[in-house]
Amino acid sequence: MNQAYGQYAGVPDTTIRGGRQVIALDNQRFIGHVGWRQKNQVFDAATILNNSFENINMQYGYIYNVNRIFGEQSVAGDWGSKSHFYHITHSNLPIGKITTYGYLLDFCSDSAANSSQTFGGYISGNKELSDDLKLVYYGEYAYQSDLGNNAIKYDASYFHIAPAILWKGLTATVAYEVLGSDNGTFAFRTPLATGHKFNGWADKFLSTPADGLEDFYIDLTYKVKNLEGNWDVLNGLSAKIQYHNFSAEDGGMDYGDEWGIFLKKPINNYVTTSIKYAHYIADEFATDTQKVTIDIGIKF
């Protein structure tokens, strides 16, 4: 069961929720539901959401169990947790949206190596350059160190810079994401993320190597619309091409490169189909890998 919770909204501008629930924050780099999987990641938790101040969203949560994608019977299944998080967003500043957060993740004995405390924030926004051209900007920084029963004492930084240009249905992004390392002994981790969204669809970096990870990537996305005549069958098609260059944050090792192609098309109001291809070309990390994923989604 994905969600089963009680909710109370009797306090002005506040929602209090307790039980099994989806928690998906921002781009899901730190906490997400892995929504593309048939079995999602959900949380047994208590959360408080408050919107008392104009344009400010504040959230606090306590997670006491993580229901992971592998299922309770798997050795990699649920994690017991004594984790806290806060998340504060101001969505209407002159420079864009600013968010600050703290994730204090303590997985006790179930996954002590992933127990950590992370504090950081990001800024995002956009600027019209002309009638058809828009600049989108995104910059994030976070700092992480060990917590709880983690036997490794470490600290590491994270940053992600992702400017993009939007032009007539085309979005072109050139970005740089770094998950830092503490002298090659231990690296920045995001164990509750929707990891498949980041660092390539071949899933080679769901866990960060000890030497850290630098990911320089280019993403081109185009959505087809307003076609007429024989070509109107393509309206609604989304196409994405990605290229990643991976290397170590500490030591300079070249991990490898990856190419990815993704196509998604609604068939009608209820059915959507997609296909995704990823080709990881190893240099000094892991092995060459090709992966194809085909999805059919039905909503009603």
Residue pair 213/199 in contact by the 8 Å Cβ criterion: yes
Nearest residue to 295 via CA among 43, 38, 86: 38
Nearest residue to 60 via CA among 19, 104, 20: 104
**Rounded to an integer, what distance in angstroms lies between the CA atom of residue 265 and that of residue 263?**
7
Q: Which two tokens stand for residue 258?
A: 């990856």
- Strand ranges, E, within 131-253: 133-146, 155-161, 164-167, 170-179, 213-223, 238-247
**Rounded to an integer, what distance in angstroms lies between the CA atom of residue 217 and that of residue 229?**
36
pLDDT given for residue 75 in this prediction: 81
Ranges under pLDDT 70 in the chain: none
- The residue length of the chain stands at 300
Q: What is the DSSP letter of 268?
A: S
Q: What is the pTM of this model?
A: 0.94
- Give the pLDDT confidence of 110-131 residue by residue, as tens digits: 999 999 999 999 999 999 999 9
**Rounded to an integer, what distance in angstroms lies between the CA atom of residue 213 and that of residue 29?**
15
pLDDT given for residue 23 in this prediction: 98
- Give the pLDDT confidence of 38-79 residue by residue, as tens digits: 789 999 999 999 999 999 999 999 999 999 998 778 888 899
pLDDT given for residue 36 in this prediction: 79
pLDDT given for residue 22 in this prediction: 97
- Give the pLDDT confidence of 266-287 residue by residue, as tens digits: 999 999 999 999 999 999 999 9
Nearest residue to 16 via CA among 64, 51, 56: 51
Report helix, strand or coil for 241: strand
